[in-house]
């Protein structure tokens, strides 16, 4: 079996990909995302572009491998919400999302010598109306400062939402495993 490399050192993505029980390595791609975040492109285009750049970067050093690159963008009214990094920014993001609908766009690129496939999985989320006390309590418990949109759905963050529409629940955490496993089996010839 060809070597699989995850072009990410995200603990969330590594944990997800390990659930498929294919051996893989994780490598940090050398991609400066901030350069591309300043371009005038849509959130979906940005997510797809970054997943491709990450896969390409790692593939250059590992041309015999199957490389999986991924990127996730949180989009509200066509505005990109980055990882907040601190309490105040997270409070601002959740206050803005409160009572509104937004999207999580998770793009994946799988690249080998023979082919490159890129796609985007879209999840639509409806956040319940929250007051500042609710948001502050949530942030103190989950501390989602390294998560786009300022929440962790796999933790207490699920309580923030009234409704979520998705085709693959693992996409929310950073890798749509249903689509990835289908493509690796059907398009890249991996054995179940």
Residues designated catalytic? 71
3-state secondary structure 54-108: HHHHHHHHCCCCEEEEEEEEEEECCEEECCCCCHHHHHHHHHHHCCCEEEEEEEE
**In whole angstroms, how far apart are CA 41 and each of 78, 115, 167?**
10, 25, 25
Phi, psi angle pair for 52, to nearest 5° = -70, -45
Distance (Å, whole) CA 121 – CA 110: 14
Q: Which one-letter DSSP state was computed for residue 180? A: H
């Amino acid at each position: 079996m060809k070597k699989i490399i995850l072009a990410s050192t995200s603990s969330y993505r590594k944990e997800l990909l390990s659930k498929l029980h294919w051996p893989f390595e994780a490598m940090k791609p050398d991609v400066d995302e901030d350069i591309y975040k300043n371009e005038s492109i849509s959130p979906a285009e940005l997510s797809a572009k970054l997943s491709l750049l990450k896969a390409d970067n790692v593939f250059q050093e590992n041309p015999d491998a199957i490389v999986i690159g991924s990127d996730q963008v949180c989009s509200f009214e066509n505005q990109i919400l980055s990882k907040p990094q601190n309490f105040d920014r997270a409070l601002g993001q959740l206050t803005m999302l409160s009572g509104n609908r937004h999207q999580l766009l998770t793009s994946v690129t799988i690249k080998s010598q023979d082919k490159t496939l890129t796609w985007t999985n879209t999840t639509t989320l409806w956040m319940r109306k929250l007051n500042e006390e609710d948001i502050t309590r949530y942030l103190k418990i989950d501390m989602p400062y390294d998560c786009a949109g300022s929440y962790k759905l796999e933790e207490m963050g699920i309580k923030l939402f009234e409704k979520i529409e998705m085709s693959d629940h693992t996409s929310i955490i950073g890798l749509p495993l249903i689509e990835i496993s289908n493509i690796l089996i059907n398009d890249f010839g991996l054995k179940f």
